[in-house]
Amino acid sequence: MRLPSSLHAICRPTVLFLLVGVVLSVGTAFLLRRQRQHRSYAEQMVAQQRLPDTLRAVTLSGATTFFTYRDEPMGYQYELVRLFASKHHLPLKVYVVHSLEDAERLVLQGKVDLCITPHAETHSARSTLRFAGPEILSGLILLQRKKQAGDTTAYLTQVTELLGKHITVLEGSRAEERLGRLEEQLGGKINVQALQADTINSEDLIASVATREIDYTVADEELARLSKTYYPNLDLTLEVGFRQRLRWFTAPQAQG
């Protein structure tokens, strides 16, 4: 089956997050713990004799999902799916897309078998997708710079202070969706700049905040906290979204 030309089997990681990904990908103790969480998915597929000849996984690029370093595939979620494929003697093919919408479309069209970029397991999402694999609890964090002499950017301490501010996020992301809901709840306008993810990712936006190219962005809690290792001038104290369950997903017909 021919895949769209927009898919790429190799992604370009943000350099400053490479070592984070390396550490995550070799964290054997954590990987073994996670194996139990995706075992039910494996057992169901094996029992139904529906394992494919080649396991086709789609993902967004990122330090915690999938990237290549010195031509070697790495990433925490990649290591988990690699373990699954290895256990069941399946060749693994990984494709990279720019948004979760693209990943959902390919999964639902049957062009790939599952997405390994964790997706929020909401009621609406469960109506169209089947969730499986390891579970992550992650909220959303506003990334801004710590108070510094000479930095005139407003330091925000409450969600209500987001009104009127310019916040840069990725188009179609969980962050964009959350900010839209906050506008409705707060009854005001947040100036959201949603950038297409074809040439930029969340790590790039975090770096841009740290280097004063932009003032604010919103990112998943997991990635935001990793960023503190490389950008100590960032402040992560303002939560803008409650924790959600994030998991891999497949097409609903995989339920059998």
At 80, the amino acid letter reads: L
Give the pLDDT band of residue 38 (cuts 50, 70, 90): low
What pLDDT was estimated at residue 23? 40
Full set of structural domains in the chain with CATH: 15-137+245-255 (3.40.190.10), 139-243 (3.40.190.10)
Average pLDDT over residues 91-97: 96
Round to whole Å and give the CA distance between 196 and 173. Answer: 10
Confidence check: pLDDT of 11 > 70: no
What pLDDT was estimated at residue 36? 52
Average pLDDT over residues 147-176: 94
pTM of the model: 0.75
30 vs 134: which has the higher pLDDT: 134
